[in-house]
A and B are shown apart, each in its own frame.
Chain A
Amino acid sequence: MSWLNDSKDLAAVRVEIVLAVIGVAVLLLSGCAGLQPSRPEPAVQVPPQTTAQEVVVAKPATRPQVTPEPLPEPPARPPAPPVNDTVLALLSDADALASAGNLDAAAANLERAIRIDPRNARLWNRLAHIRLKQGRYAQAASLAAKSSSLAAGDSALLNDNRAIIGQARMLRR
């Protein structure tokens, strides 16, 4: 089952963390630099024109202000991977329950998995499928949309979600 393969997700997550950390760090630096000149009252006045040289001078001055902020943990701590095993186990239980026709129990399993890993687009997608089978079309469509909002780049999953939404709309009529 191809949708069980989570390694790609993990790689994406790592990239995301690194980007987020860089983003935050840059924001801290540049934010200080940008906001440092406290503007006087006259309102419409634009901050004094800053030249490249001034910025270069300002930067070392702002840095020490940033560094005292303690960074107790090393950035980009690897997300604990074994969680995935738990989620996968719940997923395969859910699949078994669903194919045995026990849709409520399958959904309960998926909800348990979502509580553990709420950013996992596949879990929301599976739950959408279950709701579709149960005839809860509005829920199915919402869950598929939620899955898509987390599935950037995974075109297979995005397509599947679109299919669910289309079907749900059709069946609702």
Chain B
Amino acid sequence: MASKKPGHSPKRKKNGNGRGDTPPRWRRFVAPVTVALSLMLAAYVVHLDINVRQQFEGKRWAVPASVYARPLELYPGQRLTRRQLVEELQALGYQRGDGREIGSYRVEGRRVALATRPFRFWDGQESSRRIEVDFDDSTLIRLREADSDRPLTLARLEPRLIGKIYPSHREDRILVRLDEVPQALTTTLLAIEDRRFYEHHGVAPRSILRAIWANLRAGRTVQGGSTLTQQLVKNFYLTNERTLRRKLNEAIMALLLEYHYSKDEILEAYLNEIYLGQDGQRSIHGFGLAARFYFGRPLQELRLSQVATLVGMVKGPSYYDPRRHPQRAIARRNLVLRTLAQQRLIDETQLQAAFEEPLGVIPGTPSGITRYPAFMELVRRQLYRDYRDDDLRSEGMQIFTTLDPLTQAAAEQALDERLNAIERERGMESGVLEGAAVVTEPASGEILAVVGGRQARFAGFNRALNAIRPIGSLIKPAIYLTALEQPERFTLVTPLKDEPVALRWPNGDTWSPQNYDHQSHGEVPLYLALAHSYNLATVRLGLQLGVDNVLSTVRKLGVYRSLNEYPSVLLGAAELSPLEVTQMYQTIANGGFRSPLRAIREVLTAEGEPLQRYPLDIEQAADPAAVYLLDRALQMVVSEGTGRALYRRLSPTLGIAGKTGTTDGLRDSWFAGFTGDRLAVVWVGRDDNGSTGLSGSSGALLVWRDMIEKTGVQPLMLVAPEGIRQVWVEPYSGLRSREECPDAVWLPFIDGSAPADFSECGISGHDREKRGINPLQQGIDLLKGIFQ
């Protein structure tokens, strides 16, 4: 296709033919003109030489950074279902097959057999393995090496690619080394495009002549005469200009390339450079990416028919696009296959087998734009702190993140489905509710999922990071923790007064907070005031502790946004993003140890050399014993307080700890909760800040519950730290009790703060009254002192 007018090179030779008696005057100029022309030509060639070498050395390696999800780790005892494993394998492009060929899997009842792909991780190469995995309903119960039947303790799948950071020209490619390119591809490519590649010096006059002859006979372009080297040069400059000058330049540059580089280097560059299609703004370069883009598999796993399809596309990537023009693509593929057979590179059986195969193209892939825009925003934020934009776009860095696609999918689905259901049940306009969710692993601070809104696929307003909303009662754990860190003053059963309170501002306004049920509940033990989220008791407690001290606890827990020191902050006037709330609860869920939330684990160079790790970092932020008391109280929020609705669907053995949050006028509905291996924060509200009609427990909590139900979790089994003593107490009297007493509750106390006096079962009313008076009177005095 490249050479309709290849006759120009012989033309030059006509000069100087058969001229015996030229006039001397004319002759005098020949030498200097020739010299001048030669110099100009030489300069021009040098110019081209520099240019083409720059292209070859530099631009061909402009590779976008690849961003990966966490690799799925497989180990006995892991909470993973067979369905989830198969989902992961399909997302990775594994094919249903015998489970012995690399990249294939086989399902037999509750067993999955698969052959993993090799992958280079931060900590070294993971080679391909044939493994067999057995499941029960919720757990991976056995992991074995298929061939030896040897039990394995741990295996790892390669991570899913979740996004890329593109250069401005939007070229995308996956680099391949020549030695990892399947023989079938190079053979087919050379057979079709350049049979004499290893013989010529960059241009092949004979091919050009043959092409002209063939084209003349056919009366149209049927054959091209360009060598691979010429095609490579043409690809460097990506232009369809077909002038004589361009052709000439190409030829000279091809010769120059061949002079400087070996055949293998040129072939490798060609395999990575050649343009093979378009995906919106993104252009698909090289066979490595084309294999992924069209067939969803690594190059090494392509079948002969697929190789033929790709090689066939070189001639016209959009004309032979197997998605848009499958008929043409098949015809072209079969032509390629026949050529191979004619050249005796494949035999008749192989030919027939390949003919029979369908194209095998995966449906239009969304891989160009990420499926996880909200999470990617977080990754970019973190990357841009440490790397230059240019490097991210061109150095082919590999970024390993913490995203867990299974958790992410569950969170996205739960949010959208539940909000749909709520809108239907309540006759609300469809789509009026919005939401966001963040899921992390409490011990490591790794972010597993980020949902920025109901339309999780589209990059829009990312509410998880950017919606700053009043957090309502989600602030309360910070207040109670401030109290519990003073064991000499407060325990879980310290009676709190839940009674009306009116605060007078300096300007004369008064503020009278209300309980959610608009009732007062008298004197209640501290843990129940939290479990039932009583506002009056909490405001009084917060004032007694001091708003500044409460805010200092909030900061210790990891919230760095500055918050106003008004008493209204005690009832959640503080405005935070779901991500900030997650950071605060991460510290609570991690026993008082703060870990900065992380979205990235490791960054590698294109060659797989470690560049940077983002290790697990923790800092003790609060007394673990006090946090243990708080966590126990948060478990009771769910077992008997405002979070009860969780256990209508989930098993109480999960021991979930959590807190609901609702703001004025039911504008925001929050739930933050954690299990043994998951912390999740959910916000539901409206973008126009209107009323949702939802409390924390009728909105966000249901989303949270659905999400946990979909993923499955480990139960929360709190470990009591040193210095904790557990006793049976009677909560309302605050006295020691015995297990067999009906009112008795098994509660933890920090050493030295457990009550000493015993009550007889149930006969404690008198004591209760007696104990109640003092703190009550104290509280009133204190409030008077502060607000007058």
Contacts and interface: CB of A to CB of B under 8 A. Distances in A.
Given A23-B746, A51-B763, A114-B443, A145 B520 contact: no
A125 interface: no
A155 B118 CA distance: 44
A39 to B, nearest CB: 6
A100 interface: no
A114 B744 CA distance: 36
A24 interface: yes
Given A30-B743, A83-B76, A89-B153, A52 B761 contact: yes
B720 A152 contact: yes
Contacts of A31: 636, 639-640, 745
A150 B522 contact: no
A109 B123 contact: yes
B443 A118 contact: yes
B746 A83 contact: no
A108 B653 contact: no
B653 A142 contact: no
B154 A108 contact: no
Contacts of B443: 114-115, 118
A73 B651 contact: yes
A85 to B, nearest CB: 5
A131 to B, nearest CB: 9
A171 interface: no
Contact of B719 (A32, A50, A149): A149
B741 to A, nearest CB: 8
How big is chain A's contact interface, by range?
35 or more
Contacts of B519: 41
Contact of A86 (B153, B446, B522): B153
Interface in A115-166: 115-116, 118-119, 127, 138-139, 142-143, 145-146, 148-152, 158
Given A45-B522, A71-B651, A146-B593, A20 B717 contact: yes
A47 interface: yes
B304 to A, nearest CB: 39
Nearest to A80: B77
Interface string B747-783: 0000000000000111101101100100010000000
Contact of B717 (A13, A49, A90): A13
A142 B500 CA distance: 42
Interface stretch (B240-248, B423-431, B616-624): B616-624
Given A21-B653, A22-B746, A82 B77 contact: yes
A146 B591 contact: yes
A77 interface: yes
Interface in B64-107: 73, 75-78
A119 B75 contact: no
Given A28-B639, A75-B653, A118-B442, A83 B75 contact: yes
A81 B141 CA distance: 10
A112 B126 CA distance: 15
A80 B653 contact: no
Given A31-B640, A85-B153, A118-B677, A111 B520 contact: no
A111 B717 contact: no
A96 interface: no
Contact of A119 (B717, B724, B744): B717
Given A83-B75, A152-B719, A108 B521 contact: no
B235 interface: no
A168 interface: no
A69 B653 CA distance: 12
A113 to B, nearest CB: 10
A165 to B, nearest CB: 10
A24 B651 contact: no
B154 A69 contact: no
Contacts of A29: 742
Contacts of B523: 44, 46
Given A52-B762, A73-B653, A30 B141 contact: no
Interface in A73-100: 73, 75-77, 79-86, 88-90
B732 A34 contact: yes
A50 B651 contact: no
B597 to A, nearest CB: 15
A55 interface: yes
Given A51-B763, A118-B443, A86 B742 contact: no
Contacts of A33: 742-743
Which of A19, A33, A55, A119 neighbours the largest number of chain B CB atoms within 10 Å of its CB?
Answer: A119
B514 interface: no
Contacts of A44: 497, 499, 522-523, 776
Given A21-B653, A105-B123, A146-B620, A158 B732 contact: no
Nearest to B677: A118
A168 to B, nearest CB: 12
Most A CB atoms within 10 A — which of B497, B616, B676, B769? B616
B785 interface: no
A64 interface: no
A151 B763 CA distance: 38
B441 interface: yes
Contact of A39 (B522, B721, B731, B769): B522
Interface in B562-577: none
B444 A118 contact: yes
Interface in B542-594: 591-593
Contacts of B139: 80
A73 to B, nearest CB: 5
Given A71-B651, A90-B154, A152-B720, A138 B619 contact: yes
Given A51-B762, A114-B616, A158-B722, 17 more contacts: A26-B744, A28-B652, A45-B522, A46-B772, A55-B743, A56-B742, A71-B653, A77-B653, A80-B77, A82-B75, A108-B615, A111-B616, A116-B75, A139-B617, A146-B593, A146-B618, A152-B721
Closest 8 CB pairs of A and B: A118-B443, A83-B77, A80-B77, A82-B76, A49-B765, A149-B624, A86-B75, A89-B153
22 contacts: A17-B715, A22-B746, A26-B739, A39-B521, A43-B500, A43-B520, A46-B768, A47-B732, A54-B762, A56-B742, A71-B651, A72-B651, A75-B653, A82-B75, A82-B77, A104-B613, A112-B73, A115-B73, A119-B717, A149-B624, A149-B722, A150-B591
Interface of B: 73, 75-78, 122-124, 139, 141, 153-154, 441-444, 446, 497-500, 519-523, 528, 591-593, 610, 613, 615-620, 624, 635-636, 639-640, 647-648, 651-653, 655, 676-677, 715, 717-722, 724, 731-732, 739, 742-746, 760-763, 765-766, 768-769, 772, 776
